[in-house]
Amino acid sequence: MIFTKSFSILCIFPLLLFTNLFAAIDRTYPLADEDYWEKIETLNFSSANPAVLRSQQATITHNGELYFLNNEDSIRQYDFWSFGLDDGLKDFYSFYYPDPSNNDVGIQFYGLLFNDDGYIKIDDWDQVKPDDLLNEKKENAKINNEIRKERGLETVEDVVWVEKPTLDKEYNMISYSFKVVWGNQTNINTFVLMLGKSGYTEFEILASYENEDEFKASKQLIRHLKQNFKYNTELEYKDYKPGDKVAAYGIAALVATSLGVKGLAKAGVLMLALKKFWFILLFPFIFLFRLISGKSNKK
């Protein structure tokens, strides 16, 4: 199978704590393109249908448009060979092809480990303030720019909403996307959060804003997840019953946490933030300094 790889790289320093926790992978990094693709071919990619998400107790039904890793060691290995990163936060990693017959058009997305803090109430949705959240995200970018300058990386010029946070009550899903403007390119980051009875699943979709096909594919993937992501029996959001575990925070705090802004601490979810603070804070804004575009045949 042929796929095209284009991805952002995360600063390694904030994740050294995670790196030391994991040892059973090949830590060769960086790799020349030829060596990179040769190693990637050894990973256990699958196109099984439905795609099983281990920690989420959920599946994604598809028609051959997903090409994924759902094994912990394989995901960690892919991350390290690709980005020098081993954070242990991911449960699912996939290449998505909106047209399975055209493998030249594809984007990447991943799912974080299932968060089992409990049922997320949505009655405080009116407290989600998109403009305030974005302003704080921009302030974070300024702080992170200093780190990037020290490392000789390109800095962020702007962060702009593409689609503000939206709550789909029919599918119990939150989605939003923003673009990050660099000196000579713009990428788009899309987040999808699927609410369940005992927590939530979070996906991030990564694409080039300037590539029309990738931009369209990211929007199509949102629709696909909405209609085809399913928790297992009795684990759907609608299956909540009085007496089940309820999260100590509401939907507004969850959105802030996902976006990686300081407001989440005020919302009483500091421990949740600590699980992925550096990851979410820095990830969308790291320069694509190892942009690999290539095609690889996998049998």
Domain count, the chain: 1
Which tens digit of pLDDT belongs to each residue from 165-185?
A: 999 999 999 999 998 887 777
pLDDT value for 12 = 35
Give the residue numbers spanning the domain of 72.
Answer: 13-285
Distance CA 228, CA 62 (A): 7
CB-count burial class (<10 Å; 0-12, 13-18, 19+) for 126 = exposed
For residue 295, tell me if it sits in a domain: no
CATH code assigned at 37? 3.40.1000.10
Amino acid (1-letter code) at residue 277:
F
pLDDT value for 284 = 37
Which tens digit of pLDDT belongs to each residue from 24-33?
A: 899 998 888 8
For residue 297, tell me if it sits in a domain: no
For residue 299, tell me if it sits in a domain: no
Give CA separation, 209 vs 47, 100, 177, 178, 184, in Å. Answer: 27, 21, 11, 10, 12
For residue 106, tell me if it sits in a domain: yes
Do you find a cis peptide bond into 30, omega within 30 degrees of 0?
A: yes
For residue 251, tell me if it sits in a domain: yes
pLDDT value for 296 = 36
For residue 189, tell me if it sits in a domain: yes
Contacts of 290 (CB under 8 A, 6+ apart): 9, 30, 83
- Tens of each residue's pLDDT in the chain, 299 residues: 434 333 333 333 344 444 444 458 999 988 888 899 899 999 999 999 999 998 889 999 998 899 999 998 999 999 888 877 787 888 999 999 988 888 788 888 999 889 999 999 999 999 999 999 999 888 878 877 887 777 666 788 888 999 999 999 999 999 999 988 877 778 888 999 999 999 999 999 988 888 889 889 999 999 999 999 999 999 999 999 999 999 988 999 999 888 877 665 445 454 444 444 344 334 433 323 333 333 333 33
The answer to whether 69 and 77 have CB atoms below 8 angstroms apart is no
Distance CA 87, CA 14 (A): 10
For residue 3, tell me if it sits in a domain: no
For residue 7, tell me if it sits in a domain: no
pTM of the model: 0.82
For the CA atoms of the chain, what is the radius of gyration?
Answer: 18
